[in-house]
Amino acid sequence: MSTLKLMKVLFRLKSFSRLSSLTIFLNHCDNDLGHIYQIIFHLPFLKYFKLNILEYENVNFNLSIATDNEFSFIEYLVIHHHLTLNKLTDILSHTPQLTHLCCFNVTESKDDIKSETLLKLNNLVHLTITVHHLTFDEFEEFLVKLSSQLKILSVTIKNSEKNYLNGFRWEHLISQHIPYLNKFIFCYTDIIDNDLEIKPCRTLINHFTSPFYLKKQWIFKIFVNNDEIIYLMRPSSYI
């Protein structure tokens, strides 16, 4: 289905006054994705929305920060396409009722991070997110401003920045800013090449076995898979 046809279908969906769940799969999108989100946010009874786009390079995505009368009632949002952190911030300004958020391809923004415009999501209890080439400083600021009510956090990192492996820093972030967290799933993948040095990481990852993590029964493991090394933290019940 072309994006234009999809837009026409979405306009017609406005007449379905009790539509509460909507899932969209697209092979590609060559139009402004912001227009699609604008229509979605105006579906008055929508509680669940998932958008999966196989090929989307984030070329055109114009979505303004929501005003007071532009809020959506979506509670469960799944975003399965390329997205910068700034564009995610724009989307979240429209969804103050979110309880569950899943984003699988969040990347760095070319412009300055708009963390000052990030809306506090007081109902958000579950966050699943995959980040690519995003510094830990940026990601940490995003988490701190997003929600202190999180109970489940699942983070997958596709990045070469070793700060994500700092167990002490994660402990401080969780204990000070996400105090209700009871399930933490962390997966950091690095490529094994001739320059990979394990020793510099050892000091950082050693803290993942501190009493803080042991008390919560979050277990840290390392896996080697072909040309990748995977650092994994998850609840003992998942093992």
Spatial separation of the C-alpha atoms in residues 118 and 147, rounded to whole Å: 10
Q: Across residues 130-156, what is the average pLDDT?
A: 92
Which residues pair with residue 225 across a beta bridge? 228
Whole-model pTM? 0.90
Give me the domains of the chain, ranges plus CATH numbers.
1-150 (3.80.10), 162-239 (no CATH)
Give the confidence band of 14 by pLDDT, cuts at 50, 70, 90: confident
Give the confidence band of 112 by pLDDT, cuts at 50, 70, 90: low
What was the pLDDT predicted at 196?
Answer: 58
Judged against a pLDDT cut of 80, whether residue 207 lies above it is answered with: yes
211-226: pLDDT as tens digits: 999 999 999 999 988 8
35-49: pLDDT as tens digits: 889 889 988 889 999
Burial track 226-237 (b if 16+ CB lie within 10 A, e otherwise): eeebebbbbeee
**Arithmetic mean of pLDDT over the chain:** 86
DSSP 81: S
Spatial separation of the C-alpha atoms in residues 127 and 130, rounded to whole Å: 10
Spatial separation of the C-alpha atoms in residues 34 and 234, rounded to whole Å: 35
74-87: pLDDT as tens digits: 999 999 998 889 89
